[in-house]
Structure 1
């Protein structure tokens, strides 16, 4: 079977510069979910001219056809129908990201069983307001839009989904017979029903046919897709799945615990036995096994080794790579840094463009001064180095293994192994200086008042 996805609309109700089919839902454009549901079929996408190149690049296995003018759904189908070769095809709107292939296959089976020309997927709603109604008269089916419906028709609860299965030969014969609507100047696919001999409907879950025309409907679709994504992770604990945000491509290992308001984005991979606490944001990163990420940490395009601890309030910028048992504490920022096994940077530190060995202690307030105004320079620190608090490492600089950098030191040249590096202004204590200073200041204030 073949599939035609209608995606040439103007998206006027979204009030967006971006076509609605490209609006993101859980890390994927809306139309991705439609194409993904139909991927076992030969796919045709009817596009407008401005979206054609993007769609063809996004879905290289699909055939993209251009609807030159937006003159209705029947006119859109005309752009593709001559290219359909199989005996049957399905028509789906590109703004229906929740469709289920099983529904389509069930309708296909019904069409074959009863030798029908077409099957319309429908749903039954307690409040069908706004939807086209399925009207049955004398064994015939008619689709009546709400704006054209009388009071009796509006009471009908079975609504049209906009998904149709057709016998190709019958559809090709009937499509040219559809006449232009006198009010809108458009050609509506719903009118094709009156030119077919045998049509039936199949009722499906309304959730599966929800279309997205407004921002509110986009939000509803996102919630459903997010629930479906989270339901894939049978052996992961979500403390509050309604307030956890996991993108489509994310992988999570078993026995991991995800706390509320966590965002897992892009192609992030989380290992087994991890704990990801409240408010953390992880994007396109690899988190290996038994990692503990504490609240409100941000990790981007980085690799975190087994048994690491991150945060709270840590920021691992792109190309940070941590070996096993590394500790990155609160308000520590890394960027393009490779950090060896067992190294600790517990608080208030910036490590950028750095290679740091194993079992290094990075004291509070340490900074790698990597930028000279023209280029980024590298800091290299060997194994078992002890870096005291408030140290500045002015790159390019190398500190060899087992060195000790005294607190408050500015390192501007290489430090040999087992060496102590210290650079401080000698401390001078002046006894009684404060008393003299206060006395002088009080005298000055009195003179200022008189003047």
Structure 2
């Protein structure tokens, strides 16, 4: 049977106190609703329908290009009313999985368990057992353990209030049954709204065997109505990520002080110190060490390399046994070959450094091709920009660039050539030549220092 997913994302989120639609608030730098959609996609649905309301233009812009069917709920008249809007897009012979855009941490395995529970029935509910169920709708079962309804907190009697199994709102329903039950919903209640949970009693009245499934962790079914709850989801997500990294072979010096905001792929014996942030896709080879306070974004770090404290690496590639930092910045297009050393306060952009080359201090290398065994002295700058265009600096194998040198691109320094300290090089330097481009030193005897006037 085919699968369609319906994601409820129309709520305003007043308690967030934000102009941003609630479901677009991020967990691990990704909108909550995007977490939901990405997990749903792993189930291979034929369609994903997103029901929008408040901030619909912003939501659709943020989620553009993902083959989603957006359905408007112009008036927010309850969860049942929301799902009614998508009925014209649903088939009778498909399973409809209903999810919530502000519940981002539900795992694929949990949703698959819910779908499995729905195989032989028209309705399956995702429920959860809470140590304190206050405020949640209770799952009411008969003497045989069959689900017969959901009773809200305000309507529950003393016996029902003692029930710890509660409704999460997520469910899997056969298309034809869902359409029938939605057509019979009433808004005859204190709020004047159409509640999706009312279909549970309808199913029970028809004698439907209502199946249930439960998540592995309570945090999988928790939503965020305010920023305190959002922060709680962030910590739960980060705890999962840290646990997975350690199970995969990483040593985290303090698991609660590492943030994963994307995907981290690691080999054995990786060590990560405190306050490290991973963003996008990051690959760490065997034995890599990441010291404290580093940010790594969309990069690959080769085996045996070390990123020292307070360094930022973005869209860069390091081969084996490199050393970077402390306080280094590798920008997009930086590529370090085996054994390259990049020291403190060095910035590299769109530059390839060959095997064993070094730039140890206070240097900017942009738009450069640097060979093997090159030494870049402290304070060296590749002057790559004329105010309009960028130009390339070439430094061949074995060259030595003296401290405080400016290489004005386009320019080439040849193999085993030397640039004297303090030079401003504007012309090519041939192989094994010495270039000295600085004012001639004058020593003035008998010179008097200025003194303060009286």
TM-score in terms of structure 2 length:
0.87
Change (3 A) 1:381 1:100: closer
Structure 2: stretches of 5+ with no match in the other structure:
none
Question: Is 1:411 the counterpart of 2:425 in the alignment?
Answer: yes
Equivalent residue, structure 2, for 1:74: 80
What SS does structure 2 have at the residue aligned with 1:232? helix
Aligned equivalents of 1:378 and 1:18: distance in 2?
Answer: 43
Equivalent residue, structure 2, for 1:158: 165
Equivalent residue, structure 2, for 1:12: 14
Report the alpha carbon displacement of residue 206 of structure 1 after superposing the two structures with TM.
2.0
Equivalent residue for 2:202, pick from 195, 198, 213: 195
Report the alpha carbon displacement of residue 112 of structure 1 after superposing the two structures with TM.
5.4
Deviation readout 1:248-277 (Å, 9 max, x if unpaired)? 323222221111111111122222221111
Change (3 A) 1:389 1:101: closer
What SS does structure 2 have at the residue aligned with 1:187? coil
Q: What do you get for the CA RMSD once the two structures are aligned?
A: 2.6
Aligned equivalents of 2:117 and 2:426: distance in 1?
Answer: 79
Give the structure with higher Rg (CA). 1
Report the alpha carbon displacement of residue 120 of structure 1 after superposing the two structures with TM.
2.7
Question: Is 1:383 the counterpart of 2:365 in the alignment?
Answer: no
Deviation readout 1:61-93 (Å, 9 max, x if unpaired)? x54433333221111111223413335433221
Report the alpha carbon displacement of residue 161 of structure 1 after superposing the two structures with TM.
0.8
Contact 1:323-1:341 at 8 Å conserved across structures: yes
Report the alpha carbon displacement of residue 312 of structure 1 after superposing the two structures with TM.
0.3
Count the aligned residue pairs.
437
Equivalent residue for 1:45, pick from 42, 49, 54: 49
Deviation readout 1:102-156 (Å, 9 max, x if unpaired)? 444444555556x5x4333222223223322334578773433335556665444
Contact 1:236-1:257 at 8 Å conserved across structures: yes
Question: Is 1:124 the counterpart of 2:126 in the alignment?
Answer: no
Aligned equivalents of 1:192 and 1:371: distance in 2?
Answer: 66
1:320-331 equivalence runs, <5 A: 320-331=334-345
Equivalent residue, structure 1, for 2:410: 396
Aligned equivalents of 1:111 and 1:428: distance in 2?
Answer: 90
Question: Is 1:176 the counterpart of 2:183 in the alignment?
Answer: yes
Aligned equivalents of 1:109 and 1:406: distance in 2?
Answer: 73
Question: Is 1:304 the counterpart of 2:310 in the alignment?
Answer: no
Change (3 A) 1:395 1:248: closer
Contact 1:52-1:66 at 8 Å conserved across structures: no
What SS does structure 2 have at the residue aligned with 1:266? strand
Report the alpha carbon displacement of residue 31 of structure 1 after superposing the two structures with TM.
2.3
Equivalent residue, structure 2, for 1:92: 99
What SS does structure 2 have at the residue aligned with 1:5? strand
What SS does structure 2 have at the residue aligned with 1:3? strand
Report the alpha carbon displacement of residue 315 of structure 1 after superposing the two structures with TM.
0.7
Contact 1:7-1:95 at 8 Å conserved across structures: yes
1:267-416 equivalence runs, <5 A: 267-416=281-430
Which deviates the most, 318-327 or 147-156? 147-156
Aligned equivalents of 1:164 and 1:108: distance in 2?
Answer: 9
